[in-house]
Amino acid sequence: MSSIFDKIVEDRIQEAFRNGEFDNLPSQGKPINLDYWASLPEGIRAGYMLLKNAGFVPEEVQLLKDIDELRDQLACCCNPEEKIRIHKKLEETKLNYNLIMELKKRKT
């Protein structure tokens, strides 16, 4: 029975490949670093994968993305008042990230 399942999976992968569904994937052509996933307990890994596939990311990951975005905005901004607003938002976001990471450290 396993060989039937393997055949179905292989056929679907080949079909997706022919349809170009693997073209332009993020990190295409780059090695995948699985160290982070391997370090997580299996139950958490499964939960994170489920959330990731549904388009959700852990809060700390979203905060890191927000921090990068705010840094980019700050670098491109010419308006002094807007720079102050962006800088304040950046500092708040960094504080939130640091608080979440501190709480995670204490839980482990």
How far is Cα 28 from Cα 3, in angstroms, rounded to an integer? 29
Is the pLDDT confidence value at 13 over 60?
yes
Cβ pair 63, 100 in contact under 8 A = yes
pLDDT in tens, 74-102: 999 999 999 999 999 999 999 999 998 88
pLDDT recorded at residue 2:
64
SS3 22: coil
Cβ pair 87, 74 in contact under 8 A = yes
pLDDT in tens, 49-79: 888 788 888 888 889 999 999 999 999 999 9
For residue 83, give every residue at least 6 positions away whose Cβ sits within 8 Å of its Cβ, in sequence order, or none.
74, 77
How far is Cα 73 from Cα 93, in angstroms, rounded to an integer? 14
Domain ranges for the chain:
31-107
